[in-house]
Structure 1
Amino acid sequence: MKNFRKEILGLLLIVFISVSATCQEKTSSDSDTKAKTEKKSKKKKRKKRGKVRLPDIDLSHWKVTLPVQNEKGRPYEIDPPEILDFASNEIARPYMYIDSTDGSIVFHAMPTKSTTKNTKYTRSELREQMVPGKNNVNWSFKDGGIMKGTLAMDQVSKDSNGKYHKVIIMQIHGRLSNEQRDLIGEDDNNAPPILKIYWQNGKVRVKTKVLKDISASNEEILHENAWVDDDGFYFEQEVGFRKFTLEVKISEGKMVIVLNGNEYKVYEGIHMQRWGVFENYFKAGNYFQSRDDDAFAKVKFYDLEVSH
């Protein structure tokens, strides 16, 4: 009996030692797994914080005008294909550059002597080129077109009344054909902008052109002074400094502007119909609307697409 008891006690001792070792191994294994998981998580967070993001914007059909002068004293421009390498252009770098933290292109403008013809304001702004490198191939309302972009006001200065300075962030600009230019005796192909979209004190404002006289002839309406600005329209949504989406849809006799996919402004009727006489091109970026000292604005574009 004594031997039997000894055998039982021995077996119990072996089981106890075995179980203790297994628990220790499991605890050690769990600790190792937890440590590895935490290490991977921290590594992932560090990697995420340091991740480089590049904008997915095709610039092959855009040129840019910047608020700095070239050697001829005119605004500095970069056409395709050189614009595809804008990030390496030292002249462009202060005014058009990549923010790799959020994958945007930043357009920076401020008052300088580098203004384009017929304006006192400067710009860091893209101009559509249907044929890369050329300005003389454009589109009509009959041809139609869509421009869609996601953007945000990054920084902007204030005026003496404490209001933010205005910035035009998208446009549709009119253009005279060479024949129209010669017909009315102009020295360039410039025509009014049928659409100007502003970032104005945190809201999106739209302005278009209307005819002074809807009975004017097709030749008379080619003159810039035949058109005047309308009263403008504010979208209800306040975008502030948040990211937002704008879409501009053009068809014959009609123009539709969409904010964030759920608020619309539609223009149609006699003024849109008569505008069909002009060629057009899209513009996007930062057309800064102030000459105040030390004024500036930075606009970010995260994506920008055009189709016809």
Structure 2
Amino acid sequence: MQKMETGYSIDGNGGAVQGQQLYLWTTKTTNVNQNWVQISHGSGYYSYKKEGTSLCWDGGTGGAKRQAVTLEVCDSSNYDQHWKKVKVTSGTEIYRFEKRNAPGFSIDGNGGAALRQSLYLWTSSSGNINQQWELTRTDDTSSGGSGGGSGSGDHNLDASKAPSGNFDLLDWYLSIPVDEGDGYATSIKEVELAASYEDSYFYTGSDGGMVFYTPVKGVTTSSGTKYVRTELREMLRRGDTSYSTSGKDNNWAFSSIPSSSQSAFGGIDGVLDATLAVNHVTTTSSNNEQVGRIVIGQIHAEGNEPIRLYYHKLPGNNNGAIYFAHETSKSDGGNETWYNLLGSMVSSNGDLNSTSNPSNGIALNEEFSYTITVNGDSLTAKISQNGSQLASKTINMSGSGYDDSSNYMYFKAGIYLQDNSSNDSDYAKVTFYKLTNTHDNYNP
């Protein structure tokens, strides 16, 4: 966001410092301190989050001349952090940022431009060049920007809309690592999620992708979980709360269960199809089994997980490996077997098998697709890119204990962070460009 007729842009200084006043600094698109994630609140209002942090522009209470614009913890309900983009010149990306609850005031860069020149509020005027900012997308730079991956195609996504404007999210609820008041993670249920919900953990990137952001430090979903997540959980009831979350009609089953029991479920068998780019993973732990490791897709049963699909990139490697774990049902003992898809990172019992760079792996910001398919006792995980298959593995689940009607299934997608030993400020970020879930006997 460059001040017009200068070579200076809005900068938030290094790291994440609450109360830091925004200032001008020499424009450099690869400078992450000048990368801002645009979060839509509808009606033309946005928040701007500093890339890789949970801090947003804040104009302070009310409005007054020379009132500082600072970085504060993002709060989607705080109108001090809502800004209206007022187009200054048609046919350009030049805007004025007007404070939502004080529309008589806009962000002003003061006269001229100099290093560390502070930003503040001043009387709104589109003709004031100090309030004119030229927006440039940075999502294709090496810093990862606010979404986007190398080689990403045209997905017909609208960056001005919340994720629900580009994806059917009535089939999902969202977990974010924020205390709901009971010590556990907050759940955003289907209807709220599908009504243009966004926050600093889940938002639309500048390329229209659906962005998931998960810090190392955060609350978990239960006492039995040691890792945090920003993750979608499939909900076949589509907002009809007369069906319980754990009810059979809100979930699905494998067609290997008795045919007489199948009609009780919301669907039978299933396919989860996703296109995404992993933008950032943790880097600050010395524990190679945890650092850089996330789960990007799952099938969850009532107890265990028939599949957890991992992306795992070590700090010294250019590429990340992709592998999955298959866990048998709890009634069958809950044993796990691990399978490599790209790279040979893990052994069959899940131990770290190799720390070398997987030459056939996936780099950060590189777009790829995964498909998880269940047909009876057959489970297939496939990785592809630009329509070409990179890897595929099918396993037989006939001995896994999921062929009884007491088990129910649901897909999950997003980030389930597998690192609690990196620095609290470290994080993972993933952008989805496609996410579909289908089942037999299910017609949403």
Equivalent residue, structure 2, for 1:245: 369
What is the percentage of aligned positions where both structures have the same residue?
Answer: 24
Given that 1:87 and 1:98 are in contact with CA atoms closer than 8 Å, whether structure 2 keeps it comes out as no
RMSD: 2.6
Partner of 1:131: 237
Q: Any conservation in 1 of the 2:295–2:417 contact (CA below 8 Å)?
A: yes
- Partner of residue 437, structure 2: 306
Distance in 1 (alpha carbons) for counterparts of 2:339 and 2:299: 15
Of 274, 277, 280, the residue aligned with 1:155 is: 280
* Distance change (3 Å), C-alpha of 1:297 and 1:46: same
Contact 2:282-2:293 at 8 Å conserved across structures = no
* Partner amino acid, structure 1, of 2:306: I
> Which residue identity does 2:307 align to in structure 1?
L
Shift of 1:132: 2.2
User: Residue type matched to 1:198 in 2?
Assistant: Y
For 1:162 and 1:240, how far apart are their aligned partners in 2?
A: 20
Q: Take 2:280 and 2:403, find their aligned partners in 1: how far apart are those partners?
A: 37
What residue in structure 1 maps to residue 103 of structure 2? none
CA gap of 1:84–1:227, structure 2 versus 1, over 3 A, is: same
Structure index of larger Rg: 1
Deviation at 1:271, TM superposition (A): 2.8
- Whole-Å separation in 1 of the counterparts to 2:228 and 2:197: 21
Structure-2 separation of matches of 1:248 and 1:124: 20
Alignment of 1:64-83 (within 5 A): 64-83=174-193
- Relative to the length of structure 1, the TM-score reads 0.69
Relative contact order higher in (CA < 8 Å, ≥ 6 apart)? 1
Report SS of the residue matched to 2:190. Answer: coil
* Alignment partner, residue 294 of structure 2: 167
* TM-score of the superposed pair, with normalisation by structure 2: 0.49
Instruction: Give the aligned partner of residue 414 of structure 2.
Output: 285
The structure whose residues are more often helix, as a share, is 1
Amino acid at match of 1:96: F
1:270 counterpart (373, 377, 398): 398
**Contact persistence 1:79–1:132 (CA under 8 A):** no
Residue 115 of structure 1: aligned partner: 220
| Aligned CA distance change for structure 1 residues 86 and 129 (closer, same or farther; 3 Å) | same
Deviation at 1:234, TM superposition (A): 3.1
Q: Size of the alignment, in residue pairs?
A: 234
Deviations 1:7-58 (A, max 9, x none): xxxxxxxxxxxxxxxxxxxxxxxxxxxxxxxxxxxx9897997795355311
Q: CA 1:270 to 1:80, structure 2 compared with 1: closer, same or farther past 3 Å?
A: closer
The list of structure 1 runs, each at least 4 consecutive aligned residues, that deviate by more than 4 angstroms after superposition, is 43-52
Q: In structure 2, what is the Cα distance between the partners aligned to 1:203 and 1:151?
A: 15
Q: Does the Cα contact within 8 Å between 2:341 and 2:393 map onto a contact in 1? A: no
Long gaps (5+) in structure 2:
1-89, 95-134, 138-156, 256-267, 314-319, 344-359, 440-444
- Asked whether the equivalents of residues 158 and 295 of structure 1 are also in contact (C-alpha less than 8 Å), the reply is yes
The residue correspondences of 1:125-274 to structure 2 (distance < 5 A) are: 125-133=231-239, 134-135=244-245, 136=247, 137-142=250-255, 143-161=268-286, 164-175=291-302, 191-201=303-313, 202-210=320-328, 222-223=330-331, 226-236=333-343, 237-241=360-364, 242-260=366-384, 261-262=388-389, 263-272=391-400, 274=401
CA separation of 1:102/1:270 partners in 2, compared to 1, >3 Å: closer, same or farther?
Answer: same
Q: Structure 1 stretches of 5 or more lacking a match?
A: 1-42, 176-190, 211-220
